[in-house]
Amino acid sequence: MVQFLKFTLAGLFALMLFVGALFFLVVGVLSVFAKDPYVVEDNSVLVFDMTVNLSDAPPSSDFGDFIEEAMGLGRIRTHGLREVVDAIAAAAEDDRIGSIFLHGEFVPFEYGSGYAALLEVRQALERFQETGKPVIAHLKSPRIRDYYLASVADSVVVDPYGIVALGGMASQQVFLGEALEKLGVGIQVARAGDYKSAVEPFTRDGMSEENREQTRELLEDLWAGILAPVGASRGIELNRLRQLTDTHGWFSAEDAVEHGLADRVGYFDEVQAMLAKTHGLDDFRDVPQADLKSYIAEIGGPARRHGRGAGKLAVVYMEGNIVDGKGGMSDVGGDRFAREMRQLRRDDDVGAVVVRVNSPGGSVAASEVILREVSLTREHKPVVVSFGSVAASGGYWIATGADRVFAQPNTITGSIGVWGLVPNIEGLSENLGIGWETVKTSPFADLMSLTRPKSDEEMEIIQGFVEQIYDDFIDRVARGRDLDRDAVADLAGGRVWSGARALDLGLVDEIGGISQAISAAAEMGELGDRWTLYEYPAARGVSEMLAELFADRPPVLEKKLRTLPVWQELRTLESLNDPRATYARMPFNLYLD
């Protein structure tokens, strides 16, 4: 009887969940069809609320956003890079749009809102200004990435109680070596490359000198790439701007105006009044507004704006850690990505492929699976690789099979090196009173066991894997980039470089963003002036979104923790699933403002 009641109640509960899900599904569908078509009015201001995560890949679903907001689950709003850039380009030619209004602060998540992506948006805003239409920005407490974009505006207004944070770039790296030792977790490593410091967070309590050197030089390159365009937009000589940031760093609203970083101090309503005057009106309520998301939908999105010819150009997004197998929603699964490339290779209608990389790398096995498909595709049609904010190690590995490689000056790339990490829980097991016994037929039968440390002979085997793969990595770069092998060995060692340095070293072909890469691919594929652009992976269906929606979701506290560096390091450790425990991954997680 008890069992009967238990199963009955469980069935009723499941039915309630199903009915609830169905209700939200019906409401969502009806709300979509019930809306009047969005129409942009004449003399509108295009409002860009920067309180979003700017991802390289386009958002997977507006419907998913609606459902999650309706159920109070919370979601970071996301805009795809290309849809934002294309919307700004469309607004420049659209007689209905009279200006652009920027406000808010970015919400970086995973590998989104990186500086290479922001550079592309910044350049799009500059082209918008060339038409004579103004860009106005209102900032409350902008961090570097917010000010970097907003400084391009014709008029920058800072809230009276706002602070402009422009004190330079810093990377705080987390070291868990001592903590893991206290927990009884042992870490043994093998690596090739003095600068391949990706193992340091798990083995040390501080930075090596090589790691400190490469981090400092990379930050200086990135910082110089921020100061130069900011100084040009604000009319501040570069040396003076550097002196200001070195001596002040954090500016009150009044100080920002005094030093030329902003044009005036003002509340939000005062900026609205300014916008009204710009549009020849007395009251901002009379100014038609077009929010960016609605405008993107109204113009049809980037994939539908790049021509409608018979030829197809495919853009494939590779964003996140590279992992073996299919991977999860926020990872690049080697098998899943390779299948996508294989289908495009076999599709005779696809004339060219652009691979957009925004990844620090990861599993060597998965990177090689992807590279193989990139190389095979190149035999049939042009393959152009476009680097986003991060394209390092395994993210660079796959680019060695491309016809051309584009990077932004502030792309983080290179990191040609390999490492292996083998943890064991012997000490933890002893502390918990857990014992392990193994029976085996051969000395190396349990080589990858986590229950004990590895012997010297076993570590020699793993070190051999690492050195062999490192040699292969150098060979692939030398062959793919047509460089002398000794020269590649000199610039490798796991060291990271900025995109500008990578161009000088011959690691990339051109400086440019995804738009330039797409244009180059269309030209190389001889697609002419009319072709259709498709983006992959394709948007998820309703069933996939509902499955994700009702999967186990982390509590609010866990969501907050996911933004902390220590969580990211543990997340990195979780993603290490290469079958040979060898990885081509960036030497550190770079946490930038």
d(CA 282, CA 142): 29
- The residue annotated as part of the active site, out of 196, 293, 381, 454, is 196
CA-based nearest residue to 176, from 208, 204, 210: 204
d(CA 118, CA 472): 34
Q: What are the percentages of helix, strand and coil residues in the chain, rounded to 5?
A: 45, 20, 35
* Chain center to CA of 116: 9
Is 393 among the residues known to form the active site? yes
Specify burial of residue 141 (Cβ count, 10 A radius: 0-12, 13-18, 19+). Answer: middle
d(CA 81, CA 122): 11
List, in sequence order, the alpha helices (H) in 494-533.
499-505, 514-524
d(CA 65, CA 488): 46
d(CA 215, CA 200): 13
The per-residue b/e assignment along 144-178, b for 16 or more CB within 10 angstroms, e otherwise, is bbbbbbbbbbbbbbbbeebbbbbebbebebbbbbe
Strands 404-407 and 383-392: parallel
If one counts every other C-beta atom within 10 angstroms of the C-beta of residue 23, the result is 11
Q: What is the DSSP string of 409-438?
A: TT-EEE---EEEEEEE-HHHHHHHT-----
Is 359 among the residues known to form the active site? no
495 in Cβ contact with 393 (< 8 Å)? no
259 in Cβ contact with 248 (< 8 Å)? yes
89 in Cβ contact with 46 (< 8 Å)? no
d(CA 279, CA 522): 39
Cis peptide before 537 (omega within 30 of 0): yes
- The residue annotated as part of the active site, out of 99, 393, 515, 575, is 393
Please give the positions annotated as active site. 196, 393
